[in-house]
Amino acid sequence: MRIGILTGGGDVPGLNPAIQQVTREACARGWEVVGIRNGWAGLLGINPDDDTSQAARLMTLDPQTTRGIDRFGGTVLHTARLHPDTVREADMPDFLQAAAKYDERRWADMTPHILRVIEHLKLDALIPIGGDGTLSYAARLGEEGVPVLAIPKTMDNDVQGTDVCIGFPTAITRSIQTVHDIRSTASAEESIGVIELMGRHSGETALMAGHLGSADRTAIAEVPVDVAALSELLWNDLSAGGEAGAVMVVSEGAQLVGIDADTAATPARTDKFGNKRLGGVGEVLARDLTQRLGVPAFSLQLAYLMRAGAPVSQDSMIARAFGTLAVELIASGQTGRMTALQEGKYTSVPVSRTGEGAAQVDVDRYYDAKAFSPRITRPGIAQSLSF
């Protein structure tokens, strides 16, 4: 048995433990493990007619080459944000330019080439580790007949079918610590600290960080933010007595209602897929709060610090469990699946679940939109959100 493994999208803590565990479990069965560098871009860049193209894109994985990698963040296989079914002309390898068929957007579907490379490499199974973008393409390969076994990772925790993804526990831990740390400055200055956390479509990171860090207010991506109502609540928090100052968290994807368009303007940026690059809502909100309330407000964009560095223990544990489960499923002939953690139990779901769009917070169940506050109090909720 010869299996390939790759990591796609943004890096998160826990990827290296997952790679290491897959390698250990597979090699213990006498299998061969091939690491594919730079995610789907690594496969795209391999020319089956030129063996030299493999040297920079493939890595032999065994217990020796992966020894000690679990101590570090990032991924030894590196990563890239590229989907082989929407390859831009600028990202197309030179040897494929002549054969590429571009649409009106100058994008090309290079899946036939990817299938040829997988066959050329004699891969009996492929383990992609990624978020919904990376894994939605894994589902496409599954439909094409490739035996895939996906592992979910994203600090936004927005992959359908699993309660927890690799990277989420570390992001929450870092965010909680920041809430606690910033409170000292907000209290000293009797000001409002606004902490912006990553979360384009899902506010679960903000929800859990706000809940576990005891933030005064929490604004999530799923609910438009009535800034006038929020400012009144924060004013009450400042006036409540006891600890001075107030701290709130906000998802980067939150929509602010009631702020002048010119005031709310942030630099327009897009990624290679045309998606708007987010970031800056915290600064806009803090500036508006200062104007409305006449008290100092400052913002902190935690950004990549949420995903940098070594994983916390929960991430290492989940990554290793997912790695072991992935190999066990392949060994039993169960491919076209994704490892998952549901209500505290490790299981698997069809990888096609990743095509259902980003998972979002159940607002009615977990969030008080009027109070801008998590509502994690009902029986059973602690189990469903546990990691």
* Residues involved in catalysis: 156
Q: Which residues pair with residue 270 across a beta bridge?
A: 276
Residue 245, CA distances (Å) to 190, 233, 242 in order:
4, 13, 9
Interatomic CA distance for residues 163 and 189, integer angstroms? 38
Q: Which amino acid is at 349?
A: V
Considering only CA atoms, which of 316, 272, 297 is closest in space to residue 72? Answer: 316
Are the C-beta atoms of 223 and 367 separated by less than 8 Å? yes
Q: Please list the alpha-helical segments (H only) found in the chain.
A: 15-28, 39-44, 111-120, 132-143, 168-189, 204-212, 227-238, 261-264, 281-293, 313-331, 363-366, 381-384
User: For residue 267, how many C-alpha atoms fall within 13 Å in the half-sphere facing its CB?
Assistant: 4
335 — phi, psi (to 5°)? -110, 180
Interatomic CA distance for residues 303 and 305, integer angstroms? 6
Degrees (nearest 5) of the Cα angle 278, 301, 318? Answer: 85
Torsion over CA: 110, 114, 119, 125 (sign) = negative
Tokens of 197: 């956390």
Interatomic CA distance for residues 151 and 130, integer angstroms? 7
Are the C-beta atoms of 89 and 48 separated by less than 8 Å? no
